[in-house]
Structure 1
Amino acid sequence: MLFTEFRFFWFFAIVFLVYWLMQRNSHRKIWLLICSYIFYGAWDWRFLSLIWISTVIDYISGVKLAATDDKNSRTKWLIVSLCANLGLLGFFKYFNFFVGSAADFLAFLGLPMQYQTLKIILPAGISFYTFQTMSYTIDVYRGKLEAVKNFRDFALFVSFFPQLVAGPIVRAADFLPQLTTPKILAKVNFRDCLVLFLVGFIKKACVSDRISVIVDQYFAAPDTYTASSAWVGVLFYAVQIYCDFSGYTDMAIATAGLLGYELCVNFDFPYFATNISEFWRRWHMSLSTWLRDYLYIPLGGNRGSKLFAYRNLMLTMLLGGLWHGAGWNFVIWGGLHGGALVLHRVWSNLKLVRSWASAQILPFIGAILTFYWVCLAWIFFRARDFHSAISTLQSFVFFHSNGTNQLDLNLLWVFAFFALIHFATYRRLFHNWWHRIPGWSFAAFYGFAFSLALLFIAPNYAPFIYFQF
């Protein structure tokens, strides 16, 4: 069930009305839990068993961790949780990738082997809810969080439908306390939530889904297109993936807000970052902080020598790339970002004398270089295979291609229009104007804007890109 489908509007209308008609908070949580399972089961009811397995194992692990101070026993229950979550994730997402990679490596060594891949369907959202539940048990093990005694509350934390299938990755420390606080309808900021949902809807249905046709057309056969077409295809993919993923996050935050819950911000205008480190503080922020707290810092973080810190940074980004997908192209994408982060660390450590003029110019240059590098890395993220990625890279970087097909270069003006609107939003030119108009004006404008958006939606519903991760 997609947020942009009309059946979701009917689903949420029923959820919303029944939820707020209930008087007791405990009844509301039971209702949300049931609705969350219905929402996920609409994809494939068989995979509800995976959510239940993760929920039961991590709930028991948390209870056992809280019940003992014995280090060996606590370590055992942490290992149980990690093995269960990583085992499920590894089998459904990486089994065929690891088997195929091992076979290719043996063939390279002159030891060919016969192997057979399995027809495994990747459960929607498995990468998100496994990271979410793992963070819970790790925090309980570290003593940073008390274990949840109420199984219903923990089950709702795992399966809360607005962010279940594509994030943001919610921390237990942020979400669980909200479950103990009674929700009051009068405290819901309806205008902010409705505007945020509409913005997310437009990003996904009117922008991302529309330009996906152009992106798919180019990346289906990049070696047949001219170098200028490569720029159109890559730039439009940068727009597509941002509008797709941030659009989902906007709608998830808005949907949760209408139910009285607050989810973390996941995007903060990442394409205006002036360096790659800032980009990762603005892009998919819930994943960035998760990788920092549960991978980079445990590896050693900045402790030790600079080379040691660079190694930790590179490993974190390589594994972060692999988290996105079972393919070497995602590992390369992570490696490109890891290498850029290392270079930025080296640059930041240089003691350069900077004049006032350079201090004004460097951020501008940094923003251009950062966006260029991010777009370059997106090529490996989007390309169908390594050969297609190299063909696109050759066109995008060296402006060389033997292809003769040409995408309409006037589309670059469309990109410029998107950039202008995005910059105006970044500069907060449209900020909170909806709070300054009467209720009837807001209702009329909202109805008009939503009706206008419906005229521009793509003819067919397209799954969110991050559903595949």
Structure 2
Amino acid sequence: MIFSSLLFLFRFLPAVLIVYYIVPRSIRNLVLLLFSLLFYAWGEPVYILLMLVSILVSYAGGIVVDSQKKKGNEGRAKAALIVSSVISLSLLGFFKYADFAINTVNGLTGAGFELLHLALPIGISFYTFQTMSYTIDVYRGEAQVQKNLISFGAYVTMFPQLIAGPIVQYKTIDQQLRCRKETSEQFALGIHRFMIGLGKKVLLANNAGVLWEAVRAMSYEQLPVLTAWIGLAAYAFQLYFDFSAYSDMAIGLGHMFGFRFLENFNYPYISKSITEFWRRWHISLGTWFRDYVYIPLGGNRVGTLRHIRNIFVVWLLTGFWHGANWNFVIWGIYYGVLLFVEKFFLGKYLKKLPAIFQHVYCLFFVLIGWNLFVFDDMKLGLGFMRALFGGYGQGFVNQETIYLLYNNVILLAILMLGSTRLPKKLGDRLCAALKGSDVAIILVKNIFYAAVFLLSVAWLVDASFNPFLYFRF
């Protein structure tokens, strides 16, 4: 079940909201837990047991860590933390990376070990990092131990952000799990944010995806250079609007239930450097690696060689986190190299360039990165990369390119503008122009959100293309 489905919009979400708000506050976490388990079981009925094991391991680990620290047994507390983390990472490693490891061994040694062909549990990368953040936060004294298993289970399984984030560190919602107050203002804000996400997903990401799939299906040897870049740009927009839409809907749903999740995207395509891009893209993942890997390794407060090591460790893990395939590993190393170059050589010169050149530099390397990211088959990825630079002698443009642009120029313009702050600025100016007339502002906003919702539903009624890209990560 995905948020941009008629089943979720007209059955699941109304049902959970009705039950949530008619029961006493004391059992609302239980309602969230039960509905979240139902949400997960809808697509992964078998792997719900895996999630429950993960919950129990981290719940018990947190209690042991807390009790041993209170007794002054630092060594035993650390041992409990390590055991809990190793079990969580082992579950993730087995189900996500077992076949990758077997394939690698077979390729290196010529052995013929059979693959396990395990289905990837949906959201396992996200909820594993969340459960680990809990035990680490308890060990560091940055969060209180959660002795209520229902509340802890609600945190891990919470359906708004279970499948594709944002990754919610336990310490950021510790108090909200224990005591929160839902308000009508917050609920309305949640509806508005959810509608924005729904529109971004259905009206923008899906249509960008159709364009990308059309280009991807073409013969790369005959693909004009401009057509290849149009296709890659369409994929970049699809990925951004798809994933940021999911985060918008997750944050909006969180508001509906009284939670405030941290932001996950901040207009990454307006960045002027790769460093800035990764401060704006998938913020919750970057924050997780910063807090639990980069800083514990010493961050930038160490010698140059160790600092370089820390950068590459983080980006190797970032790439590997995204998927069990060599293209993700190479993608992670690629960004490690770019960030290393910016940090130690290029950064000071880049800042002296005109802003437009900084933007072009950043977007060029981001698009090349998405080429590495999108193709699991590296041979196909290299073939498409070759087409981007005219490596087949196919020319820059042809009649099909003109036709493609003619039919998609409006879509591409909307995607470009939608990835900037311009729509928000225009909305703010409109509200400023209507200042003094609260009724008019409310009316205009509600008409806009209603229009987005109705257009999205109309698109979904006949849609056959409605994926969520980050489900597979």
User: Normalising by structure 1, what TM-score?
Assistant: 0.91
Summarize deviations over 1:37-92 as a string: whole Å, max 9, x none.
Answer: 11111112111111110110100000001111313311221122111111111011
User: Is residue 2:174 matched to residue 1:159?
Assistant: no
Contact 1:219 1:384 in 2 (8 A): no
Secondary structure in 2 aligned to 1:18?
Answer: helix
Query: Please, what is the CA RMSD of the aligned residues?
Result: 2.3
User: Is residue 2:405 matched to residue 1:409?
Assistant: yes
Note the C-alpha offset of 1:32.
1.1
Q: Which residue of the partner structure matches residue 290 of structure 1?
A: 288
Q: Which residue of the partner structure matches residue 340 of structure 1?
A: 338
User: Is residue 2:305 matched to residue 1:307?
Assistant: yes
For residues 468 and 19 of structure 1, the distance between their equivalents in structure 2, rounded to whole angstroms, comes to 30
Summarize deviations over 1:151-180 as a string: whole Å, max 9, x none.
Answer: 111111111110001000001111121022
User: Is residue 2:462 matched to residue 1:466?
Assistant: no
State how 1:262-411 maps to structure 2 within 5 Å.
262-347=260-345, 350=348, 359=352, 361-396=353-388, 398-402=389-393, 406-407=400-401, 408-410=404-406, 411=408
For residues 67 and 217 of structure 1, the distance between their equivalents in structure 2, rounded to whole angstroms, comes to 58
Secondary structure in 2 aligned to 1:124?
Answer: coil
Give the stretch that moved more between structures: 87-96 or 435-444.
435-444
Summarize deviations over 1:362-409 as a string: whole Å, max 9, x none.
Answer: 33321221111011000011124111111222222x333356994523
Secondary structure in 1 aligned to 2:174?
Answer: helix
Give the stretch that moved more between structures: 361-370 or 144-153.
361-370
For residues 163 and 413 of structure 2, the distance between their equivalents in structure 1, rounded to whole angstroms, comes to 32
User: Is residue 2:425 matched to residue 1:422?
Assistant: no
Secondary structure in 2 aligned to 1:193?
Answer: helix
User: Is residue 2:446 matched to residue 1:446?
Assistant: no
Note the C-alpha offset of 1:424.
4.7
Contact 2:198 2:453 in 1 (8 A): no
May I ask how many residue pairs the two structures share in their alignment?
455
For residues 436 and 50 of structure 1, the distance between their equivalents in structure 2, rounded to whole angstroms, comes to 50
Change beyond 3 A, Cα 1:72–1:332: same
Structure 2: which 5+ runs fail to align?
432-437
State how 1:60-79 maps to structure 2 within 5 Å.
60-68=60-68, 69-79=72-82
Give the stretch that moved more between structures: 95-104 or 422-431.
422-431
Q: Which residue of the partner structure matches residue 434 of structure 2?
A: none
Contact 2:199 2:452 in 1 (8 A): no
For residues 245 and 277 of structure 1, the distance between their equivalents in structure 2, rounded to whole angstroms, comes to 20
Secondary structure in 2 aligned to 1:14?
Answer: helix
Secondary structure in 2 aligned to 1:45?
Answer: coil
For residues 254 and 375 of structure 1, the distance between their equivalents in structure 2, rounded to whole angstroms, comes to 29
For residues 52 and 380 of structure 2, the distance between their equivalents in structure 1, rounded to whole angstroms, comes to 40
Note the C-alpha offset of 1:4.
0.8
Note the C-alpha offset of 1:105.
1.9
Note the C-alpha offset of 1:138.
1.3
Q: Which residue of the partner structure matches residue 249 of structure 2?
A: 251
User: Normalising by structure 2, what TM-score?
Assistant: 0.90
Change beyond 3 A, Cα 1:436–1:370: farther
Secondary structure in 2 aligned to 1:89?
Answer: helix
User: Is residue 2:94 matched to residue 1:91?
Assistant: yes
State how 1:199-238 maps to structure 2 within 5 Å.
199-220=196-217, 221-238=219-236
For residues 422 and 83 of structure 1, the distance between their equivalents in structure 2, rounded to whole angstroms, comes to 39
% of aligned pairs identical?
34
Secondary structure in 2 aligned to 1:35?
Answer: helix
For residues 412 and 235 of structure 1, the distance between their equivalents in structure 2, rounded to whole angstroms, comes to 12
For residues 340 and 45 of structure 1, the distance between their equivalents in structure 2, rounded to whole angstroms, comes to 41
The AA in structure 2 aligned to 1:94 is Y
Change beyond 3 A, Cα 1:198–1:76: same
Change beyond 3 A, Cα 1:48–1:92: same
State how 1:159-178 maps to structure 2 within 5 Å.
159-178=157-176
Q: Which residue of the partner structure matches residue 37 of structure 1?
A: 37
